[in-house]
Structure 1
């Protein structure tokens, strides 16, 4: 506050107070910003204190075991006795032993069932459900598609094992329509065992992809569809011109999660076939388990595990890049 002096007609001096006007920016007539308060050392380190417990847990349960796996991958070790240096032999075996390299190939084949088919089918299903009126049928379609996602993969593996058995639902359905010659023990057939496991993965992934893509379609501006129709685009034209570009990020998320599930698959394969018949459905996850606990080849299992982790990162990186590209 400042005091100004005024002289009245009687000669008395009267002091009146005026509020202090803030400093104004001559260009904008807005108050000038106050200089930022300098952060104290306590403020700078407070964030580290909050994150430290999570960092410690991550280091103990993720980084340290990963480092141990990398170290063990260069040794021959049964998990109990003395470890002997093996050089690069464990790494070479991944590419020279048919069982190990075949498990990696099978994992990439499962990507077709876990990722390509669910994402493409989910796009079609989400586009069709968008056209349905909000009501009982629309809600029922969403629930039916999402039910597999809430089931544990182990339970799904057991259920599909029964359905793929000789007297299971699949063969009974084939007999009912006169296709008895196509019946077989699907999970025990050398030709169809891997596709049968892939169908289980497809069933588990479809609901997740469909619901996620549906939520993405809900964020697309309806005026874009109206503009496409005014330009003469039909349903297919709307899909490729509006829906598909608008779902780039959602497709990337679906592809990332399902690809990781395919390459690191274990539970469904272990429950359904345990890698059989022979090695026809062997995947890296089951092979790592077998090498560690059944054959006590911890060094070889560690090499395969580290290779699988690097492979997942290598495959996921371009998917993430595409999803972020505008």
Structure 2
């Protein structure tokens, strides 16, 4: 009788597990099982055709000792500045400006800034490859305004290729962040802004004390989405630079493709893929914990 009184109302817990079982089966079949296979392959030396041999931790040790494998991860961290930090900062600036100043045609600006999100990355890559070509629109514009000294083969210059690709990522991600923050600003009570203005807060103080704390959840979502997009970036690199010049723009996702399908190093490619998955998981969990800690 005592146990019956302690039971939670509703159906037994076992029934709840039955409800989620189909989703767990799909999740296990299409995510956990392939990931487990990748972990297994990462422990082998295999070219995809002949018999595999045991590698143990060799492929993972190469991630730290081989400069050709370390470089893509450093490039990915650099690209996070362009794919995540800059879009979030610009999105906050645009959202704060649009929420404070009445802008005519605001819906039009939102659509224009969000447009890159609805374009396939292949289309984005082809368009920007044309713009950044030596005889492309960007260099033609610089020549036309007398800044021809700044013209360069943006995607063919080992110094500027990575920032050029990063700039494309900033262009793509800013609209998404702006829309998220504009939606978040609308749910912040107007009374907080009125109280801040009564206290004499200026635009910057109002943003720092009212807008930014009110957008904490949206900032966490934007950081998570942009970090994942930045780290799994493949199609844009493949279309614009193919990891070049040299390996100046190689990133982990492209390195997985390159090693698995071009150089037949399947075990090494699997190790890169597993390391990339762990990197994405670690950063997204860190963002989540940081936001939860701030809330507490």
TM (norm. structure 2) is 0.94
CA-atom RMSD in angstroms: 1.8
> Among 26, 45, 48, which residue is 1:57 paired with?
26
> Among 100, 105, 120, which residue is 1:131 paired with?
100
Provide closer, same or farther for how the CA distance between residues 137 and 78 of structure 1 changes in structure 2, counting only shifts above 3 A: same
Aligned residue number for residue 72 of structure 1:
41
Provide closer, same or farther for how the CA distance between residues 244 and 90 of structure 1 changes in structure 2, counting only shifts above 3 A: same
The answer to whether the aligner puts 1:99 opposite 2:68 as a matched pair is yes
The answer to whether the aligner puts 1:313 opposite 2:281 as a matched pair is yes
Higher fraction of helix: 2
- C-alpha displacement of 1:49: 3.1
Question: What whole-Å deviation, never above 9, does each CA across 1:27-80 have from its counterpart, x for those lacking one?
Answer: xxxxxxx9989867xx54443333222211211111111111111111101112
> Among 303, 310, 313, which residue is 2:271 paired with?
303
- Contact 1:132/1:138, CA 8 A, preserved across alignment: no
- What SS does the aligned partner of 1:187 have? coil
> Among 52, 63, 82, which residue is 1:113 paired with?
82
Aligned residue number for residue 87 of structure 1:
56
The answer to whether the aligner puts 1:150 opposite 2:142 as a matched pair is no
Question: What whole-Å deviation, never above 9, does each CA across 1:249-281 have from its counterpart, x for those lacking one?
Answer: 101110111011111111111111010000000
Q: How many Å separate the matches in 2 of 1:260 and 1:225?
A: 33
Aligned residue number for residue 243 of structure 2:
275
> Among 175, 190, 195, which residue is 2:143 paired with?
175
Aligned residue number for residue 251 of structure 1:
219
Provide closer, same or farther for how the CA distance between residues 39 and 233 of structure 1 changes in structure 2, counting only shifts above 3 A: closer
Q: How many Å separate the matches in 2 of 1:168 and 1:46?
A: 62
The answer to whether the aligner puts 1:201 opposite 2:169 as a matched pair is yes
Question: What whole-Å deviation, never above 9, does each CA across 1:15-36 have from its counterpart, x for those lacking one?
Answer: xxxxxxxxxxxxxxxxxxx998
Question: What whole-Å deviation, never above 9, does each CA across 1:126-154 have from its counterpart, x for those lacking one?
Answer: 011112337x5211111111111111111
Aligned residue number for residue 223 of structure 1:
191
Aligned residue number for residue 202 of structure 2:
234
- C-alpha displacement of 1:95: 1.0
5+ residue gaps, structure 2, are none
> Among 136, 158, 177, which residue is 1:190 paired with?
158
Q: How many Å separate the matches in 2 of 1:35 and 1:84?
A: 56
- C-alpha displacement of 1:323: 2.1
Provide closer, same or farther for how the CA distance between residues 225 and 38 of structure 1 changes in structure 2, counting only shifts above 3 A: closer
Q: How many Å separate the matches in 1 of 2:210 and 2:101?
A: 18
Indicate the structure (1 or 2) with the bigger Cα radius of gyration. Answer: 1
Question: What whole-Å deviation, never above 9, does each CA across 1:267-325 have from its counterpart, x for those lacking one?
Answer: 11111101000000000000000000011111111111111111111111121112223
Q: How many Å separate the matches in 2 of 1:37 and 1:147?
A: 48
5+ residue gaps, structure 1, are 1-33
- What SS does the aligned partner of 2:105 have? helix
